[in-house]
A and B are shown apart, each in its own frame.
Chain A
Amino acid sequence: MRRRVRRWKSRVMVGVLVLCAVLAVLPLLLILGTLIAKGASSINLAFFTQTPVPAGESGGGVVHAIVGTLMIVGVACLMGLPVGIGAGIFASEWPASRLARSTRFIADVLNGTPSIVVGVFAWTFIVAKQKHFSGFAGSVALAVLMIPMVMRTTEEMIKLVPNSLREAALALGFPRWRTSLKIVVRTCMPGIVTGVLLAVARVAGETAPLLFTALGNDYLKTNIRQPLAALPLVVYKYATGPYDDWHRLAWATALVLILVVLVLSLASRFATRGRFNAPR
């Protein structure tokens, strides 16, 4: 009797947990499904090669936003990654130092800061000063978002490297800086790359900090000092517009955006399989 009760309790609990798991992935599947259903039909060669056509005409593409996103995110990486990775190495090598502890705390606060606040920051210090919007201001906002993420993952990854490896290098006569870069950082490089790709995936989809920095642009521009288009901005503009054609483009752009994020996430999984780190 008691055994049966126990077995039933077990089944109910397993059922509840399975339901939770399904609920967790359901939104993602629904989003993907809706995007494919509404956006896939608008994706064609012109979508990737042409700039927008005047409202009312059908056709046109988002090549300006693809180029814009690549440029804004690329420049953000150039600024954010060295700083983030460097700060992460510092915080893990001198974990108890005052600077490391305060940097860690500030990074955690910054990680939780709404991205629009970072956008306002970039607007105040760059857009308002220069008196014009620019892709560069957007890059700065995205870099500020990336730095704490990259710093914390770099630090956590370095912490996973066994101390015995560090000692072995020191005992061979390696100076500390060389131990850090050649042995410790190299050992956890796949983990750092994963963190970087996830950070890139996250900022590539950011809209709020670009609204009043990069602003958006209907033309294909490659000057980072001018307002630039970006995929999330295109989604925002077309989705809130009055035309059916715009709505279709918005769905298609959203699909491209989520595919980019998906590809980056998949790439981060492959990055963890380094030369000598075959999956076990």
Chain B
Amino acid sequence: MLPASAVQPRLETSGLTAYYGATPALRNVSVGFAPNQVHALIGPSGCGKSTFLRSLNRMHEETPGAHAEGQVLLDGHDVYSSKVDLKKLRRQVGMVFQRPTVFPTMSIYDNVAAGLRLDGRIARTRLNEKVENALTVAGLWEEVKDRLHTSAIALSGGQQQRLCIARTVAPAPEVVLLDEPTASLDPQGTQRIEELLFHLKEKFTIVIVTHNMQQAGRVSDTASFFYLGELVETGPTRQVFTAPKEARTEAYITGRFG
């Protein structure tokens, strides 16, 4: 594994500050994420890691009264530029949430196809192919291939979450953001998602928020520790976990607070 600094980052922030109303929840964060790696964001509740994640695809500003300042660069282009098409950005930077958010009125197939159909009409065979690919990538194809046109809410929680991953990767994003994707799952469902991350990073750049230290240790290549709205430390996961440079990082990782 190369150190993060040796390659051009796919996604990079510079002086990113995010507000709810007039209160900054995140202050002056500058960090880069190298392509095809899993980047974990860790820290206690309310430390700003979710806010940071939501600033990367501009979902943060969908909260009433929220806004962000500073830069987020995707392949060197500022996503906060006024020229950016939000639809295009969010298809380049996909997002999976804490709880499965399948669309309850749609079948399994239509859920995966939902993002693909935004581009207008698409040939049936092409769509079939893309849906199958996305479900395969999410490790769900074998389980649902015989019931693609049945209700998506009949799936188990873990399957629903993998369906959400399939829906997110179907439009072929560059970056996939995951906000505590296993928080509502049982250990088995959690394990499947964690295994999936190893395959996903071959195709995508992954940023994952997690509360679970063991999970961060297992799945990530780099770790960034947030505390009270600031980025305290970032680096290769092993180094952050075994030889943190900051006293606060060490205190959190060894379980003295948080």
Residues of chain A having any CB pair with chain B under 8 Å: 96, 164-165, 167-175, 178, 183, 186-187, 189, 274-277
Contacts and interface: CB of A to CB of B under 8 A. Distances in A.
Contacts of A187: 103-105
Contacts of A168: 97, 101, 103, 164
B99 interface: yes
Nearest to B116: A172
Contact of B88 (A96, A171, A173): A173
Interface stretch (B22-30, B41-49, B56-64, B122-130): B56-64
Contacts of B152: 276
B94 interface: yes
Given A172-B167, A173-B87, A165 B101 contact: yes
Interface in B156-175: 164, 167-168, 171
Nearest to B114: A172
B156 to A, nearest CB: 16
A167 B62 contact: yes
Interface in B100-130: 101, 103-105, 107, 114-115, 118
A19 B114 CA distance: 53
Interface string B71-108: 00000000000000011111100110101010111010
Given A164-B99, A276-B151, A170 B104 contact: no
Contacts of A172: 90-91, 94, 114-115, 118, 167-168, 171
A164 B115 contact: no
B233 to A, nearest CB: 28
B103 A173 contact: no
Nearest to A179: B62
Given A167-B97, A168-B164, A171-B95, A189 B105 contact: yes
B153 interface: yes
Q: How large is the interface on B (under 10, 10 to 19, 20 to 34, 35 or more residues)?
A: 20 to 34
Given A168-B103, A276-B104, A174 B118 contact: yes
A175 B88 CA distance: 11
A186 B106 CA distance: 9
Nearest to B119: A173
Contacts of A183: 103, 105
A171 B57 contact: yes
Contacts of A276: 104-105, 107, 151-153
Contacts of A171: 57, 59, 90, 94-95, 97, 168
B59 A167 contact: yes
Contacts of A167: 59, 62, 97, 101
Contact of B115 (A96, A173, A186, A275): A173
A169 B88 CA distance: 13
Contacts of B101: 164-165, 167-168
A265 B258 CA distance: 54
Nearest to A95: B64
A173 B212 CA distance: 29
A54 B171 CA distance: 72
A187 to B, nearest CB: 5
